[in-house]
Amino acid sequence: MLTDRRAFLASSAVLAAGLIPVKQAIANAPRPKANHRPLRIGVSTYSFWHFKGECPELLDCIDRAAELGFDGVEILHDEMLKREDNDYLQQLKHRAFVNGLDLMGFSIKQGFVSPDPAERQRNIDHTLKCIELAYKLGIPTMRLNTGRWRTIKNFDEFMANKGIEPAIPGYTEDQAFEWCISSIEKLLPKAQECGVCMGLENHWGLGYTAAGVKRIHDAIKSPWLRMTLDTGNFLQDMYEQQEVMAPDTVLVQAKTYYGGGEWYTLDIDYERVNKTLRNAGYKGYISLEFEGKEDWKTGVPKSLELFRKVFGG
């Protein structure tokens, strides 16, 4: 840093003396490397609620994020408490603004793995509505799921089976990929119109592997579909699969498990994750998804401290 400062002062003195042209002086001035700047840290409102107990008010979640020192907030659609009117949306946007926070992500639930065209259309319509919600909130990216077969009805049982379930009898995984690709293609015009980049997540189902996410992403070939990388959703070959997704990642959802995980606990080497992201040129948000059993009042601050240290540039 001292060397850079001396170089800058020296170039400024030469410029003042009129010895080199302005354009050359600007070109010679030291610049920080873009891939070494600190990554911004946000928090998902999911971190304050794991679908257990009373759902917190989103306005309160935004206040908490500001008090704890985060840079942004990712909103979980399930926490809108059945309020989606424009007045409420603008309250959320205003609350974030006056707290100096970005609303930087929107996570919704939907899926396209169904042999029933009417069911797929219901999910398409829901997703189109959510793109509009993200637009009104000023949120630039929205988490998208592939969907899953739902042949294992109980989610705890599904988690105990490591997110693996059989296909619906009589149907194949190739058919499911076709359903998913054709459904997402119908979302692209609305995403482009609203300026909301969809991020396909490694979130079970067809997204159980990076190869599955990439298959859909590469088939669609649109700037309005990229990837949301969840660090806690690869239960095998975690780091190798992250490397596959990193170049096309638009948002990182980073899990921590203080107090032990709600469904499982992973020992994630975030120094290695950071290296993968930096090598891929990632410059977006790290969004904390605290999924530990410890009280969020201690688990979330510890997670933020960890991420500031690791992703600080």
Shared domain for 1 and 67, answered yes or no, is: no
pLDDT in tens, 249-258: 999 999 999 9
pLDDT in tens, 223-250: 999 999 999 999 999 999 999 999 999 9
Shared domain for 57 and 186, answered yes or no, is: yes
Q: Where residue 75 falls among pLDDT bands split at 50, 70, 90?
A: very high
Shared domain for 16 and 134, answered yes or no, is: no
- The owner of tokens 């759902």 is 55
How many domains does one find in the chain? 2
Provide the pLDDT for residue 16. 47
Shared domain for 27 and 45, answered yes or no, is: no
Provide the pLDDT for residue 30. 54
Shared domain for 110 and 143, answered yes or no, is: yes
pLDDT in tens, 115-162: 999 999 999 999 999 999 999 999 999 999 999 999 999 988 988 888
- Three-state secondary-structure class, residue 261: strand
Q: Is the pLDDT of residue 51 over 80?
A: yes
Q: Domain containing 119 — which CATH number? A: 3.20.20.150
Q: Is the pLDDT of residue 280 over 90?
A: yes
Considering only residues 128 and 14, tell me which one the structure prediction assigns the higher pLDDT.
128
Q: Is the pLDDT of residue 281 over 90?
A: yes
Shared domain for 20 and 168, answered yes or no, is: no
Provide the pLDDT for residue 20. 45
Domain holding 1, by residue range, is 1-31
Provide the pLDDT for residue 89. 98
Q: Is the pLDDT of residue 13 over 70?
A: no
Shared domain for 8 and 124, answered yes or no, is: no
DSSP string, 141-186: EEEE-------S--HHHHHHTTT--PPPTT--HHHHHHHHHHHHHT
Shared domain for 138 and 239, answered yes or no, is: yes
Provide the pLDDT for residue 19. 42
Shared domain for 17 and 157, answered yes or no, is: no
Q: Please give the structure tokens belonging to residue 102.
A: 């970005």
pLDDT in tens, 186-217: 999 999 999 999 999 999 999 999 999 999 99
Shared domain for 259 and 144, answered yes or no, is: yes
Extract the runs of DSSP E, i.e. beta strands, from the chain.
41-44, 72-76, 102-107, 141-144, 197-201, 225-230, 249-256, 286-290
Shared domain for 57 and 6, answered yes or no, is: no
Provide the pLDDT for residue 15. 42
Q: How much of the chain, in percent, has pLDDT values that exceed 90?
A: 83
Q: Where residue 55 falls among pLDDT bands split at 50, 70, 90?
A: very high
Beta carbons within 8 Å of 218's beta carbon, 6+ residues apart: none
Provide the pLDDT for residue 31. 53
Extract the runs of DSSP E, i.e. beta strands, from 238-307.
249-256, 286-290
Shared domain for 183 and 195, answered yes or no, is: yes
Provide the pLDDT for residue 159. 84
